């Protein structure tokens, strides 16, 4: 039994995992949570179903400045460890397309199972305890955590305060201030896994359309990131998994400039040559007596085709026989290279993660601060964010577990 006093700041996924792990190692654990309840964010994860991990775990699913190190952390607590951990809490899991969920599809059971374990391990939970400073206590040399005029002293402290995403759940970015106060820098933070807002007013006419597409982010005309999946068009912009996954890249570019251009390919299975042949054969097959709307029926969603006909400067009722070949070609081109201009994203309120944070360069392989020994980091407060599919919660479990194991481990 270590008997070491461990303070965990932040009662989200990473903090609860850290507290359970440290207590199982015999530490005396106090879990400090700024809001009145632990694990509130978990309730809204996976649309209320909590996608808590993924069978296809790989470092390439994460954005970070040090992918090799993230891979190294993931190897030490992988998907089998997540499965065993939750089975150990009595949570039956199920898998869908590689994503792991509680079999009952209720995020609340994950929150409850963790809370019951915290209670059974006699962890001291202090809700409504929002830390506003973490510093070395000059008298004891230990780590003091303060909240107003309250003060607690620990052998080691794990900071698991999350980022700024979904601030109503408690993650308001205050953890970054604690880290900066300890001498850490901060990779600039932006909303991630969030919907994008576009300049084009005409999107209203196609709002509600969903379509498989390859979406590319262009920087000075060059593709810097691309994702394929179901695009969802909204009144104000674009959503859907591929868009959410591109949003952090777009938001970092938007920090430097006013707009980012996206190129959308609605027929990504065709090579350029195959598409060229498809267009030529359609032109030969279909009667020129048709209206433009009739002529392009069957290419894409009806609403999209009507939009593209109009964007090419035509009217849906125009007879194809009277349309210039260049204009028909333009409609075909729009199906492969529709350009939209993003001028913002939804705010942190709608974001699922916060990109950026405490750089991995500033923590050791034990997840210990290089600036202030005896302080450890876990979860989204670090500059590691994952794609959709349970990767962000996996990072929270993995880093929470490792930070706690190391914090309870040997003294220097």
Q: How far apart are CA 242 and CA 232, in angstroms?
A: 9
Please, which of residues 114-173 interact with ligand FAD by CB under 6 A? 130-131, 160-162, 165-166, 170-171
The residue range among 13-21, 117-125, 256-264, 316-324 that interacts with ligand FAD, by the rule CB under 6 A, is 13-21
Nearer to ligand FAD, 165 or 214 (CB): 165
Q: How far apart are CA 191 and CA 7, in angstroms?
A: 28
Interface with ligand FAD: number of residues (CB under 6 A):
37
Pick from 110, 96, 126: nearest CA to 44: 110
Could you tell me where the DSSP H helices lie in 145-240?
174-181
Note whether 12 binds ligand FAD by CB under 6 A: yes
Note whether 244 binds ligand FAD by CB under 6 A: no
Nearer to ligand FAD, 44 or 343 (CB): 44
Note whether 27 binds ligand FAD by CB under 6 A: no
Token code pair at residue 100: 């792991």
Q: How far apart are CA 8 and CA 21, in angstroms?
A: 11
Nearer to ligand FAD, 32 or 238 (CB): 32
Note whether 45 binds ligand FAD by CB under 6 A: yes
Nearer to ligand FAD, 168 or 277 (CB): 168
The residue range among 12-20, 112-120, 232-240, 250-258 that interacts with ligand FAD, by the rule CB under 6 A, is 12-20
User: What counts of helices (H) and strands (E) characterise the chain?
Assistant: 12, 21
Note whether 14 binds ligand FAD by CB under 6 A: yes
Reduced 3-state DSSP string for 247-278: HHHHHHHHCCCCCEEEEEECCCCCCHHHHHHH
Q: How far apart are CA 192 and CA 242, in angstroms?
A: 12
Nearer to ligand FAD, 50 or 360 (CB): 50
Note whether 10 binds ligand FAD by CB under 6 A: yes
Pick from 346, 342, 347, 352: nearest CA to 385: 352
Nearer to ligand FAD, 13 or 206 (CB): 13
3-state secondary structure of 300: coil
Note whether 331 binds ligand FAD by CB under 6 A: no
Q: How far is the CB of 230 from ligand FAD (least distance, A)?
A: 16
The DSSP secondary structure of 51-106, one letter per residue, reads --EESS--GGGEE-S-HHHHHHHHHHS-HHHHHHHHHHTT--EEEETTEEEETT--
Note whether 18 binds ligand FAD by CB under 6 A: no
Nearer to ligand FAD, 62 or 296 (CB): 62
Binding site for ligand FAD (CB under 6 A): 9-15, 32-35, 41, 44-46, 50-51, 130-131, 160-162, 165-166, 170-171, 174-175, 352-353, 379-380, 390-393, 396
């Amino acid at each position: 039994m270590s008997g070491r006093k461990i303070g965990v700041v932040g009662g989200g996924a990473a903090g609860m995992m850290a507290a359970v792990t440290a207590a199982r190692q015999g530490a005396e654990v106090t879990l400090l949570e700024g809001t009145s309840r632990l694990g509130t964010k978990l309730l809204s994860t996976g649309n209320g179903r909590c996608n808590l991990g993924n069978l296809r775990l790989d470092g390439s699913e994460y954005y970070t400045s040090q992918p090799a190190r993230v891979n190294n952390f993931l190897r030490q607590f992988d998907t089998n460890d997540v499965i065993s951990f939750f089975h150990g809490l009595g949570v039956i899991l199920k898998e869908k397309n590689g994503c792991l969920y509680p079999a009952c599809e209720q995020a609340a059971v994950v929150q409850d199972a963790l809370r019951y374990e915290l209670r059974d391990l006699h962890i001291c939970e202090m809700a409504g305890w929002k830390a506003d400073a973490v510093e070395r206590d000059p008298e004891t040399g230990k780590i003091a955590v303060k909240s107003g005029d309250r003060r607690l002293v620990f052998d080691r402290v794990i900071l698991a305060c999350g980022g700024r995403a979904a601030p109503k759940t408690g993650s308001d970015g205050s953890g970054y201030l604690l880290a900066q106060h300890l001498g850490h820098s901060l990779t600039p933070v932006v909303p991630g896994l969030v919907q994008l807002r576009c300049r084009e007013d005409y999107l209203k006419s196609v709002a509600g359309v969903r379509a498989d597409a390859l979406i590319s982010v262009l920087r000075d005309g060059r593709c810097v990131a691309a994702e394929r999946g179901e695009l969802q068009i909204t009144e104000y912009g674009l959503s859907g998994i591929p868009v959410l996954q591109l949003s952090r890249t777009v938001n970092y570019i938007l920090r430097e400039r006013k707009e980012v251009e996206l190129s959308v390919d609605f027929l990504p299975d065709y090579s350029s040559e195959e598409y060229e042949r498809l267009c030529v054969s359609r032109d030969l097959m279909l009667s020129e007596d048709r209206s433009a709307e009739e002529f392009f029926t069957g290419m894409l969603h009806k609403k999209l085709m009507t939009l593209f006909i109009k964007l090419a400067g035509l009217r849906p009722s125009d007879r194809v026989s009277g349309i210039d070949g260049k204009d028909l070609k333009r409609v075909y081109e729009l199906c492969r290279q529709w350009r939209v201009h993003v001028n913002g994203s939804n705010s942190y309120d709608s974001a699922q993660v916060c990109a950026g944070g405490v750089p991995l360069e500033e923590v050791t392989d034990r997840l210990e601060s290089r600036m202030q020994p005896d302080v450890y980091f876990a979860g989204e407060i670090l500059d590691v964010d994952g794609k959709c599919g349970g990767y962000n919660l996996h990072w929270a479990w993995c880093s929470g577990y490792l930070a706690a194991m190391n914090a309870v481990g040997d003294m220097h």
